Amino acid sequence: MTTIETKAPMERGEPPSPPEDWWFGHLLEMRKSPMKFLAATARDYGGIVKLRFRKNIVYLVSEPDLVKDLLIDHGSKYRKNTRYKFLQRVLGQGLLLSEGEAWRKQRKTAQPFFTPKGIAGRSPDVARIAEEVVESWRDHTASGEPMDVEHAFSRLAQRQALQFIVGPMHEERADAMATQVEISVKSWPVRVRGRFGGVRPPAVGRLLRLKKSIEKIDSLVYDFIDTYRSAPTDEAGLLPALVAAQDKVEPLEMRNKQLRDQIVTLFLAAFETSASGLCWTMYLLDQHRDVRQRVYDEIDRELEGRTLTAAELPKLKYLDRVISESLRLYSPIHSLSRVALEDDTIGGFAIAKGSTMMVSLYATHRLPTHWPEPERFDPDRFLPQRSAGRHRCAYIPFAIGHRNCMGSVQAVVNAKINIATIAQRYMLKLAPGQKIEPEARTTMRPRFGMKMIVEER
C-alpha cells in the first residue's frame, strides 16, 4: 500500500497534515494507537492539524492558545459533537449530551450543589463510604490474591455518586445500578485494535443485553423518583432540586423522562471519571515508590490516623500535586470534539461550517513546549513557582469553557479522601505480569484491567 506525503499547503489556507495513505488517510495510524498518534501529531505538526479519516476531515487543536480560541473565545460558534449514538441510548438528554436551553436549565439546577459549602457538607458521607468499602478489602490481604482495582474503585465511586444524587435511602442499591450501567457499557460497539481494525457492530445478543440493561436502569431510576414523589424528604441528595426544576406545564411522563436522563448522566459521569482517575493515581504511586512514600508520610503526619475531614483537606498539599500530575498524564476525559455552527477562523486557518474539531487532552498535556520531559511523572511541576506563567489551557483535565465539568472540585475532594483512606490501611502493588496500557473508551481506562496486591500497612 502506498502513501503520499502531504505538506502544509499554507498558500491554500489549510493547516499542516502528517503523511497519509492515499485511500484511508490517517485512519490506519489512528486505529493502531489513537492517543499516541494524536500526541505525536500535535508535537510534530503544530497547534492545529488537518486529519483525514477516509472521507471525514477532523481538525486536531492542541496548542493552548488555539484551545482557548475554540472552547472559550469562539465557544458560542460550536456545539458538542452528537455522534455518540449508543451513549445516547443509555444517557438520553442529560447534562452531557443536551444542548441549548435544555442544557442551560439542567446546568443551572445542578450548579448550586457544587459550591464549597455543598462539597464540604458531603465530605463526611464520602469518607464514611470510603472507610466501609476499603475495610472490605481485608480478605485480599489475608489471601494474597490480587484485587481487580478497576472494579473495586468503580464500586466505591458508584456508592459515593448515588448517595450524592438520590440520598442515603437508595445508597444500598448502588451496586444494582452500577451492574446495569456496566452491562450497557460493555454492550456498546467494540473497536478492533490494529491498523485494519474498525468498529465492529454489536451482535444481536449484545444488542439484546443493551436493551435489557437500559430497561433495568430505567426501572431503578423511576423507582427512585416515585419513592421521592410519594414521600418527599430533604435527605434525597440532588433529587429534590431536580424534581423542583421540571417544567410543570409538561406532562408528568415527560418530566420523569427528563429526571431519568439527568440522574443516569450524573451517575455515570461522577463514578466513571472518579474510578478511572483513582486507578491511574494508584498505579503511578506504585511505579514511583519515592513519591508514594512522600504521600504516605504526609497523610500519616497530618492526619495521625484520623478520618480526613473537609477542614483538613488543604493540609495534604503534596497529595494535591500528585493528583494533578496524575490527571495530566492520564486524564479520564481524554478528548472532546466540537462541530462548527458557522464559518470561523482558528489559528489563522479557515474553518467551514459543519467542520469537526477535536481536542486531545492526552496530546495537549504532553506538549514539550509547555511540559518539559512530558512523559515523566513529576508532581512538583505543580508547585506554585513552577506553575507561574503556565498557560491556563495547557492543563485542562476537566475541559474548559462553558461546557467544562462542574464537578471538578468535588472529584478532587473525593480523590483525596479515597486515597487517604486507602493509604492509612494498605499498600497497593501492581500484580506480577499485569500489563498496563491506556485505552480511550468513554473514559481513559486500562486496556487489560488493573490487578494489584493489597498489603496491610
Give me the DSSP letters along 275-303. HHHHHHHHHHHHH-HHHHHHHHHHHHHHH
Please report whether residue 52 resides in a domain. Answer: no
12 part of a folded domain: no
Contacts of 202 (CB under 8 A, 6+ apart): 187, 188, 189, 190, 210
Listed residue (20, 84, 83) closest to 51, CA to CA: 20
Residue 238 lies in a domain: yes
Q: How many CB atoms lie within 10 A of CB 21?
A: 17
**What nine digits make up the cell of 218?**
430505567
Asked if pLDDT for residue 10 goes beyond 80, the answer is no
Q: Would you give the distance in Å from CA 217 to the centre of its chain? A: 21
**Inter-residue contact 185 to 442 (CB < 8 Å):** yes
The closest of 398, 421, 455, 377 to 157, measured between CA atoms, is 421
For residues 225 and 90, what is the distance between their CA atoms, to the nearest angstrom?
18
pLDDT-derived band of residue 109, with 50, 70 and 90 as boundaries?
Answer: low
- 13, 346 in Cβ contact below 8 A? no
Residue from 400, 132, 413, 177 nearest 278 by CA: 413
pLDDT in tens, 150-197: 989 988 998 898 888 888 767 677 778 777 877 776 666 555 444 444
Please choose, from the candidates 265, 262, 279, the residue with its C-alpha nearest in 3D space to the C-alpha of residue 329.
279
- Residues 33, 39, 40, 45: what is their CA dihedral angle, to the nearest 10 degrees? 130
What is the per-residue pLDDT for 305? 94
Query: CA separation (Å) from 141 to 153, 206, 426, 434, 454?
Result: 17, 36, 9, 18, 5
| Predicted local distance difference test score (pLDDT) of residue 178 | 75
Q: How wide is the angle at C-alpha 51 spanned by C-alphas 2 and 99, nearest 5°?
A: 150
Domain that holds residue 128: 63-456
> Is 23 inside a domain boundary?
no
- 252-305 pLDDT per residue, tens: 777 788 888 888 878 877 777 888 999 999 999 999 999 999 999 999 999 999
Q: What is the tens place of the pLDDT at every residue in 364-402? A: 999 999 999 999 999 999 999 999 999 999 999 988 876
In a domain, 268, yes or no: yes
Domain count, the chain: 1
Say how far apart CA 452 and CA 283 lie, in whole Å: 9
Q: Which three cell numbers stand for residue 42?
A: 500535535
13, part of any domain: no
Per-residue confidence band for 95, with pLDDT thresholds at 50, 70 and 90: very low
Phi, psi of 305 (to 5 degrees): 85, -5
Q: Among candidates 339, 293, 315, 321, which has minimal Cα distance to 70?
A: 339
Strands 451-456 and 426-430 come out as: antiparallel
Mean pLDDT of the chain: 85
| Residue 164 within a domain | yes
Domain at 333, CATH number: 1.10.630.10
- Express each pLDDT in 38-82 by its tens digit: 999 999 999 999 999 989 999 999 999 999 999 999 999 998 765
Residue 55 lies in a domain: no
SS3 304: coil
**Bridge partners, 296 (sequence order):** none
